[in-house]
Amino acid sequence: MTETKQILRLYGPQISTYGRIAAITALECGIDFEVVPTATNSPEQLARHPFGKAPSAEIDGLQLYETAAICQYVDDRFNASALQGATLQERAYNVQWLSVANSYLFPISEFGLVLPRLVVPLMGGVAREDLIKAALPQIYHVLKVLSARLEHSPYFAGSAFLQSDVFLYVMIRAVQLTPEGVVMLQHFPRLAEWLSRIQTRAAVRATEWAIE
Ligand SMILES: N[C@@H](CCC(=O)N[C@@H](CS)C(=O)NCC(=O)O)C(=O)O
């Protein structure tokens, strides 16, 4: 008898950085995911997420928001917490690098490059070049810190692929889809090599965006 896999239901746009992080995590943990297309800040999304962001999630009858919490639940429940590290040191580094992704990379890469360069033109708008110009040195600095870390270990928390790699991969991949990102990544071969290693994972390939 075949067992039906659990499904992580994600509410948000089809193309969403944090939505893809949760989707990759679900597949890495051996469960399925489904995206219920829901606009950020819409009344439907605000009913599930008081800040209107994406994704919000449903699993095991639980309603959750904040991607780190969603991923932690899925990994604890279905994957013996394997994406959070096997040792105290790995677990601490995992949270450190995941926090770097959330606190220092995403705010500047998303609002200073990915949205203006990729998303605004897709919606028929014109990119704010001043925003992009101001953001590039800050993004470059974060990429430099990230690349330096990879001089010392194959993955961000140590020798194993963990949750921090998922967060950072999806965010840096979005940067890599911009012409400015391609140029910046030429300065950081370690980071580029790590990206191509992560890119071969089945969960990563299965969640590629139509614009990739
Ligand atoms: N801290 C949130 C961030 C989620 C987030 O910023 N999601 C983006 C989509 S990738 C969003 O909702 N953007 C719309 C907005 O900021 O209004 C999490 O970890 O889930």
> For every residue of 165-191, which 3-state class applies, written as one string?
HHHHHHHHHHHHCCHHHHHHHHCCHHH
Please tell me the pTM assigned to this model: 0.97
Query: Which protein residue has the closest C-alpha to ligand 1 atom 7?
Result: 54
**Residues flanking ligand 1, CB < 6 Å:** 16-18, 40-41, 53-54, 66-68
Per-residue pLDDT tens digits for 35-72: 999 999 999 999 999 999 999 999 999 999 999 999 99
Domains of the chain and CATH, by start: 7-83 (3.40.30.10), 85-202 (1.20.1050.10)
Nearest CA to ligand 1 atom 15: 53
Structure tokens at 102: 């959330």
Q: What is the number of other CB atoms lying within 10 angstroms of the CB of residue 189?
A: 11
The tokens describing 169, both together, are: 């991969």
pLDDT tens per residue across span 93-136: 999 999 999 999 999 999 999 999 999 998 899 999 999 999 99
What's the gap in Å between 3 CA and the centre of ligand 1?
33
Q: Which of 25, 40, 56, 113 has most ligand 1 atoms within 8 Å of its beta carbon, as the pocket-test mutant?
A: 40
| Type of residue found at 65 | Y
Alpha-carbon span 140 to 136, nearest angstrom: 6
Rounded to the nearest whole angstrom, what is the distance from the C-alpha of residue 16 to the centroid of ligand 1?
Answer: 8
- CB of 146 closer than 8 Å to CB of 191: yes
